[in-house]
Amino acid sequence: MKILVCISKVPDTTAKISFTDNNTAFNTSGVQFIMNPYDEWYALVRAVELTEDGKGETTVINVGPAANDAIIRKGLAIGADKAVRVDAEPKSTHQVAEEIANYAKDKGFDLILTGKETIDYNGSELGAMVAEMLDQPYVSYATHMEVEGTTASIKRDIEGGVELLEVDLPAVVSAAKGMAEQRIPNMRGIMMAKRKPLETVPASAGAEHVAVKSYELPAAKGSVNLIDAENMDELVRLLHEEAKVI
């Protein structure tokens, strides 16, 4: 079985978010970047579980500059067999999807996995776009997946229960919490990652259709006013007169 796992580079969850260039670009100064957790913890680890010990081959793919190689190497340290980086600055999900689809279309992957979303833009768009471009079925938000022959059995959480699905391969699946248990790279994996192939391919996507006009930060949160538990009258007054919720 051949699996392609799409991995993104995202700011660490503790990064302070700000913008530059008249609020049209994310300020990366001093920001620590990590592999998108949904890509890493669920999509990649499940792919490795399905292909390790000679059962198949997992390839990780990233669209980005050479600075992303450290994130890609982490994917190899976790257990991917090889890696591909499409040498392009990611500007929109459509462009990234097109690069991935262009790479994958003639490689014979049985499965293409993504995280359910990236933790920076939370678009949940990539998997669907890649599936459409490759004319393959798409299942989102998978929390469990087994593969038997050319069929994947998938569970996903729905309101009040669990939905069971079967999908013919090849297919594109986005992974959510529950798909796998996070793996921390061990030293053997880290040192092995240096020896695994990381291929760089040129960009091939067409014209860009989406442009960012500007970003806005959410409004600052107000300060907390602690009211003594014995002073219910004051609490009621503030809720009525200042918060105006009663």
C-beta of 184 vs 211, nearer to another protein: 184
Asked whether 99 and 86 are in contact (CB, 8 A), the reply is yes
For CA atoms 72, 17, 124, 42, give the dihedral sign.
positive
Is the CB of 200 or the CB of 214 nearer to another protein? 200
Residue 12: half-sphere exposure toward Cβ, Cα within 13 Å = 9
Using the contact rule CB under 8 A, the part of the chain among 100-108, 112-120, 134-142, 177-185 near another protein is 177-185
Nearest of 80, 45, 60, 51 to residue 9 by alpha carbon: 60
191 contributes a contact to another protein by CB under 8 A:
yes
Rounded to the nearest whole angstrom, what is the least distance from the CB of residue 182 to another protein in the complex? 8
Q: Is 66 in the site for another protein (CB under 8 A)?
A: no
Instruction: Out of 2, 74, 156, 196, point to the residue binding another protein (CB under 8 A).
Output: 74
| Cα gap 246→236, rounded to integer Å | 8
**9: contact with another protein by CB under 8 A:** no
Smallest Cα–Cα separation from 195: which of 85, 83, 86?
83
Sole binder of another protein in the list 4, 7, 60, 77 (CB under 8 A): 77
Q: Token pair of 113, please?
A: 């996995």
Report the distance separating Cα 173 and Cα 195, nearest Å: 29
| The binder of another protein chosen from 55, 105, 107, 194 (CB under 8 A) | 194
Q: Candidates 108, 158, 184, 216: give the one binding another protein (CB under 8 A).
A: 184
188 near another protein, rule: CB under 8 A? yes
CA pair distance 169, 4, nearest whole angstrom: 13
Using DSSP bridges, classify how beta strands 57-64 and 33-35 pair: parallel, antiparallel or unpaired. unpaired
The window from 65-73, 118-126, 132-140, 211-219 that contacts another protein (CB under 8 A) reads: 65-73
Residues that bind another protein (CB under 8 A): 14, 29-30, 69-70, 73-74, 77, 182, 184-188, 190-191, 193-194, 223
